[in-house]
Amino acid sequence: MWIPAQMSLVQILILRDDLPGVTAALGRRASLHIIETRDICPGHLADKLSDVMRDRELLARLSGLEKRITSIQQEFDAASLSLAPVVMFDFDPVRAAQDATSTLEREIEPAVRAITDRIRALRARKERNESLRAQLMDIQSLDVDLGELRNLEFVYVTIGHVPRANLARLEESLREMPSIMIPYSFTRDEVFIAAATLRHLESRLRAALKGAYFKPVELGEELSGVPRDALERLEQDTAEIDRALKQETAHLAALGERWGKTLRDLLGRVRFNRSVLEFYAHFEGTGQTALITGFVPSDETELVRKDLEEATSGRLVFEARVMPASAGITSVGVISTDTTHPARGLAVPAVPTLLRNPGFLKPFESLTVTYGRPLYGEFDPTIILAITYVFMFGFMFGDLGQGLVIAALGALLALRPPRALRQFSNAAGFLLLCGSSACVFGLLYGSAFGREGLIPAIWERPIENITSFLVVGILYGILQNVMGLVINFINNLRQERLDEAILGEFGLVSSVFYFSLLGAAYCALVSRSAVGVRVALLVAAASVIVLIFRGLIMKWVVKRGREPGSSETAEAGAAEAEPGETTGLFASLLGVFDIVLRHLTNSISFVRLSAFAIAHVALGIAIYTIAGSVSGLPGGRLLSVIAVILGNAGVIALEGMIVGIQCLRLEFYEFFSKFLRGGGVPYDPWRLDSEVKPGG
């Protein structure tokens, strides 16, 4: 939980004849994160490797068939046509592709396509009828033949809607030309009108109508007769379409019953062969053997070994090397070809990161990954993020009543989420914890639904002691910053980055500078010790000098023969000193200035904790001030209640979101930035898409 799961590099040498059984065993266990065997083999071995199975054209064909089958299944509206895979067959991708293609093209697709084409045509016709019906509803009171109206030779007639506010202006414009305008019906905002003029004046009438923001009703060419009769014919046609749709849907369901099992079998077979073919593309073979390489969680290697021994009757070579934490610091790690020395000699791709956090921490794990997935061997801050985020949210949003509302929403999402909110059910635990924290701080502050004094304060009210609250915010920020510095130091030691641990941006020397500033502030403001202030400032100055010349120190370290690839700090420091002493010194000064500035701003940023706690109280006061001001109006008691309810709802929605964002900002930019490098590769074990009955 504190660090990603320990990984082992696994290399498995088997006979090609045992591939089906090994494939089934690895697919069921779903523990092997596959990597390319060629990527780690020494040159003399890689030259001798040959592809076991890398038919990309066949793989693309199987993927296409899978999409075709699932698209047909989606056409069948029957619960029995589940896409769940079934127990499947031997590995034979060519035969699977041939059988699926033949069955689809000769039997299933033509029958399904004929019905679905008719259904689409009927639905398009129904949509057109609905559009025409909407047009006719506006003019059903007109007693005029629509066909004749559309085909008048000497008169131009148009009907449509004009904004009510523009009606007088339109009437004024039409007085200047021979025309008729008849308003037929009025709504709150619009007037339905008919307008006519001589055919040769059509363009002038159109211009006048456009100036009044007229929206014409376009009558379909198929409409004829008076609107009432046309509407009746349209409704009869729509009823016939509904009957035809019901028939075609029944035919499609019957096809589903007939071909459902065949499609499931085809899909499972195609998926299985596609999945295995993708698996085979990752490893190599020599003669009658195959070499499989990947990463497995160290606590599962013995389980994988036993599965494979059973699948091959013991005919295999299985090697597992535990990956050290230092293997995760770059995109390519280094391991030993000698199992007695775990970290020298063999380059491997990035070790994947498997985060193992309890279910209730998954929403916070998602936030961690949003910033950057921890590298292998790097500290996983999810549990600390959960604790500090929930604490800060409650501190800024301390209110018993509003916290209960948020917690109740979280409980609702966890137990019985409404259909419209089911997509947010993953946030249930997050809301429950944050709401509970707000309740606790609401009790401490004596605040409920924005009302101060409604309940007694266990601690003190933010608005009554603003200075103390600002100090508390800064002290908490110092505590969290110190925690980040400690984690950074431990991270670098675990990853064998001693130079980064000591001279890095947030390394030991930088931490000494920060602690000395804190000591100076304490001696000046609390203990009133002038000697303490001088000593602390001397230590801070010494730390700054070391940081300024860290480039020269790194250059000296590299010259002493330290491995240049072991840390970015050594390389950066050496490069920094390379162009010349003046340039290197100037770059160091800028770097140190940035470090000093970040230490100071990181601590001061946490003042916003107190500021938002005080602002929350101020919003509550504003709500009840408004409620009091409307209480003297007619119906004032009801208006006051409405003002309180709407005010609290607005605070929960808007301020709750803002406080949540501020918590995230403090976590990401003031805390994670000290130690979390990110860029880890997600652990993605290979698994079969269907259960497998291994063949020979």
Q: What is the pLDDT of residue 283?
A: 75
More confident residue, 149 or 101: 101
pLDDT reading at 447 higher than 80: yes
Q: What is the pLDDT of residue 586?
A: 73
pLDDT reading at 303 higher than 90: yes
pLDDT reading at 509 higher than 80: yes
pLDDT reading at 81 higher than 50: no
Q: What is the pLDDT of residue 221?
A: 67
Beta bridge pairs of residue 345: 336
Give the model confidence (pLDDT) of 307-339 as tens digits: 999 999 999 999 999 998 888 665 444 444 444
CA 353, CA 462: separation in Å to the nearest integer? 43
Q: Which of 551, 527, 523 is nearest to 535 (CA)?
A: 523
Q: What is the pLDDT of residue 557?
A: 66
Beta strands 681-682 and 352-353 are parallel
pLDDT reading at 690 higher than 60: no
DSSP 6: P
The domain segmentation of the chain, as residue ranges, is 144-225, 382-468+607-675, 507-593
Q: What is the pLDDT of residue 602?
A: 85
For residue 77, the tally of other CB atoms under 10 A from its CB is: 10
Residues with Cβ < 8 Å from 3, sequence gap 6 or more? 325, 374, 377, 378, 379, 380, 494
Q: How confident is the model at residue 82 (pLDDT cuts 50, 70, 90)?
A: very low
Rounded to the nearest 10 degrees, the angle between the axes of helix 466-494 and helix 581-604 is: 130
Tokens 């917690």 belong to residue: 407
Look up the CATH number of domain 144-225. 3.30.70.2750
Q: What is the pLDDT of residue 274?
A: 86
Q: What is the pLDDT of residue 79?
A: 39
pLDDT reading at 696 higher than 50: no
Kindly state the average pLDDT of the residues 492-496.
88
Q: How confident is the model at residue 193 (pLDDT cuts 50, 70, 90)?
A: confident
| 497-528 per-residue burial string, b: 16 or more CB within 10 A, e: under 16 | bbbbbbbbbbbbbbbbbbbbbbbbeebeeeee
pLDDT reading at 571 higher than 70: no
Q: How confident is the model at residue 92 (pLDDT cuts 50, 70, 90)?
A: confident
Beta bridge pairs of residue 681: 352
CA 270, CA 96: separation in Å to the nearest integer? 6
User: Residue 696 carries which side chain, given as an amino acid letter?
Assistant: G
Highest mean pLDDT among 279-293, 450-464, 608-622, 681-695: 608-622
Q: How confident is the model at residue 694 (pLDDT cuts 50, 70, 90)?
A: very low
Kindly state the average pLDDT of the residues 499-511.
90
Kindly state the average pLDDT of the residues 560-585.
51
Joined together, the tokens standing for residue 306 give: 């036993």
Lowest mean pLDDT among 90-104, 275-289, 567-581: 567-581
Q: What is the pLDDT of residue 430?
A: 92
Binning the chain into helix, strand and coil, the percentages to the nearest 5 are: 65, 10, 25
Q: What is the pLDDT of residue 389?
A: 97
Whole-number mean pLDDT of the chain?
83
Q: How confident is the model at residue 643 (pLDDT cuts 50, 70, 90)?
A: very high
Q: What is the pLDDT of residue 329?
A: 65
Tokens 């602690």 belong to residue: 515
pLDDT reading at 628 higher than 80: yes
Lowest mean pLDDT among 50-54, 127-131, 326-330: 50-54
Q: What is the pLDDT of residue 331?
A: 45
Give the model confidence (pLDDT) of 352-382 as tens digits: 999 999 988 999 999 999 999 999 989 999 9
For residue 114, the tally of other CB atoms under 10 A from its CB is: 13
pLDDT reading at 299 higher than 90: yes
CA 425, CA 416: separation in Å to the nearest integer? 9
Give me the half-sphere count of Cα atoms (radius 13 Å) on the Cβ side of residue 665. 11
More confident residue, 240 or 580: 240
Q: How confident is the model at residue 305 (pLDDT cuts 50, 70, 90)?
A: very high
Lowest mean pLDDT among 265-269, 555-559, 609-613: 555-559
pLDDT reading at 650 higher than 50: yes
pLDDT reading at 261 higher than 60: yes
Q: What is the pLDDT of residue 125?
A: 87
CA 421, CA 426: separation in Å to the nearest integer? 10
Beta strands 215-216 and 352-353 are unpaired
Lowest mean pLDDT among 124-133, 327-336, 490-499, 652-661: 327-336
pLDDT reading at 51 higher than 70: no
| 370-406 per-residue burial string, b: 16 or more CB within 10 A, e: under 16 | ebebbbbbbbbbbbbbbebbbbbbbbbbbbbbbbbbb
Give the model confidence (pLDDT) of 393-442 as tens digits: 999 999 999 999 999 999 998 887 777 777 778 888 899 999 999 999 99
pLDDT reading at 84 higher than 50: no
